Every structure is written in C-alpha cells, then in structure tokens.
Structure 1
C-alpha cells in the first residue's frame, strides 16, 4: 500500500492571485502570496511568538487613536502579492467590517517582520522591496541575536522610493516616527526568564 500523495493546490496558468487566498480551500493558516506563489508558514518559534505579541501590545498602547494595530494580517500590494506582515499599523478608517481578511497596502503606516529561519531572505530582501514599492513609509525587521531581539528600522526615502536605515536597536528602542515609542527590548523573552532577572 503506497503513501497517499498530498493534495496540494495546483496553481492556475499565470499563478495565483490575491483574491485566490480567500477562495482556495484548506490552506494552512498564515499562507501568503508572493510573486503569484503560495508561501506556507513554518511552525512558529517561542521568540517569534513573544516578539509579535510584544510589538502588537506596545504599539496598541502607543499608537494614536486614529491608527489600528493588527498581527499576522494580509495586505494587498498588487494582484500577485498579498504578504502577511507579522505586525502592521494601519489607518483606522480602512476597517470596514469584522469579516474582512486584508487591508490595502496604501493604508499601512508601519510593517514589522520577525525573522524566522525559513523567512530570512524574504524578510531581509523580498518583502522590503515590495513594501517600499507599495510606499509603506516605515518598515521594522526584528531578529533574534542569541536570545536577544535586535531591531532594524527603515524609513521610505521619497526621492528614491527605497528604504533607508534609520537605526539598529538592541536593549532599548526610542523613535519618534511614525509616532513616539520608547521600548524595552529586553522584555521580548519568556515571562519566567524576565521574573528570574528581577
């Protein structure tokens, strides 16, 4: 008796489109569309989970009331690209109803990616280029440096249309844009580890 073949979705001619993500049955959670191809998320690490939760919580507290914060929510860049940043800050009026599954890229003020072993190239190279092309003004990349979060902060340079680095942060991150935040990055660790240090 042979091993059953996996029932993978077969892409149509020309690849998948942004609308297909809402129509393809039984996709794994957090599937993205990058260059008309489906990208499946690898199992999440503890660092990734803690970092996403930390930034979502901190930004919800700090963001002006006209902005909304969402975690792991897809954005429409174009017909062939519907990525899912780990955390985004969007203009609040883009939320139309509780059943919507994506936001337009032009509504995004800040996109954050937490780098995983399977997403290094996408988060360092592919996605920043697409986010810049979509004119998302701020991009933060979060990396795990031996258990300590390091944040790489980028801002869109309007003349070139490309991101320029505005800082690398290790223990503390204090920035004034897109709105003021002062973050203790040492808190991105399991609660048990934090309690042991206090």
Structure 2
C-alpha cells in the first residue's frame, strides 16, 4: 500500500493551546456540518440512525403543535453557552424575538427555554452527562433526554427542570407513550405515533 500524495491529504486545523472559541466555530473554513464546540474542542457528528431523525421530527412537530406565538421550535442550531462551548441541541425552544432571520447561525443560552438531545451511540456520554451539565450551568430552564427503549425501539423521554437553588437539573418525569407537561408551556406529544415517521 502506498501513502497518499501530500497534495491530496486533508489538513486538519491545529487547535490553539487554550482551545477553540465560539468565534472559531463560525469562522474556520470547511468544518463538517453540525460541528459542535465542547470545552474548546471541535466535535464532529457521525452519521445518524433513522431513530435519531424520526425522534427529532416527532418531537419537533409535537412541540410546534402547541407552541405559543412568543416562542419558536428550532432544530440543530448552535447554542452559545460561553466562549468555549457551542453545542447543537437536536431541538431547542427559543424566544421568538431571538430569531433574527434566515441567515442566523446561533442562539444565546439566555434565549433558550428547552434543549432536547436524542441519544446517539457516538455521543451518548455527551448527551447524558456533558451537555445537561453545561445547559443547566448556562441557565437553560428545561432539558429533555430522549432514548430508544423496548423491543420495538420506541422513544422514551426523560424530562428535567433546573432548580434555581441548585442550578442543576432534577428529573420530573419519564414518558413512554405520551409527553404531557405544562412547562415551559402546555405540551402533549403522542409518542405512540413514532412508527408513522
């Protein structure tokens, strides 16, 4: 086997000593789609399972069905938590006034009321541990974690709310068939329709 000629090799950027910043995330050329910034490191997204796609669409449609006019439901948009963290929740509920137009690439954490992560095999630790901790520390009041369960691989939604006194999330419910909550607004999502997606 021969080595690939130097002119055909991909040159990956060398990270700065103190890591990348959110500004770098939006200015580095040729980053793959859906690149995230976690603790100053670039995180590339692997190809997703059909479950991931279908769960995002089911939940986004359900969230949009009752969203009040002062809020918007957005998918796969960067949320700036601080200068070294710009994750991309699968779904976010944001203040409508924070939506500035079709060229927008990010939201500030202060504009996000709910962040939703659908677990993927390659990002399970980040989705379960790293991201919820960072979302809570940034003041995002609500977080949902969606996993695949049962013999039929249906979505299960764990709902968390941020405690003001602790600044951390507490589990408020686990939903297998229907998500029915009153915060951040009245939401009812029929999870049993998952196979329709």
TM-score normalised by length of structure 2: 0.93
1:126 aligns with 2:149: no
Counterpart among 159, 166, 176 of residue 160 in structure 1:
166
Identify the residue that residue 68 of structure 1 maps to in structure 2. Answer: 72
Aligned mates of 1:106, 1:188 — CA distance in 2:
31
Post-superposition shift, 1:190?
4.8
Counterpart among 105, 108, 115 of residue 111 in structure 1:
115
Instruction: Tell me, yes or no, if the aligned pair for 1:47 and 1:189 is still in contact at 8 Å.
Output: no
Aligned structure 1 segments of 4 or more residues deviating by more than 6 angstroms: none
Counterpart among 168, 179, 192 of residue 186 in structure 1:
192
Instruction: Give unpaired runs (5+ residues) of structure 1.
Output: 192-198
Deviations 1:99-123 (A, max 9, x none): 1210000000000000000111101
Post-superposition shift, 1:55?
1.3
CA RMSD of aligned residues (A): 1.2
Number of equivalenced pairs: 191
1:48 aligns with 2:49: no
Instruction: Tell me, yes or no, if the aligned pair for 1:17 and 1:79 is still in contact at 8 Å.
Output: yes
Identify the residue that residue 3 of structure 2 maps to in structure 1. Answer: 2
Aligned mates of 1:154, 1:133 — CA distance in 2:
14
SS in 1 for 2:92: strand
Identify the residue that residue 29 of structure 1 maps to in structure 2. Answer: 33
Deviations 1:159-184 (A, max 9, x none): 11110000011111111111111111
1:175 aligns with 2:176: no
Aligned mates of 1:149, 1:10 — CA distance in 2:
39
Identify the residue that residue 20 of structure 2 maps to in structure 1. Answer: 16
Post-superposition shift, 1:97?
2.7
Post-superposition shift, 1:9?
1.8
Instruction: Give unpaired runs (5+ residues) of structure 2.
Output: none
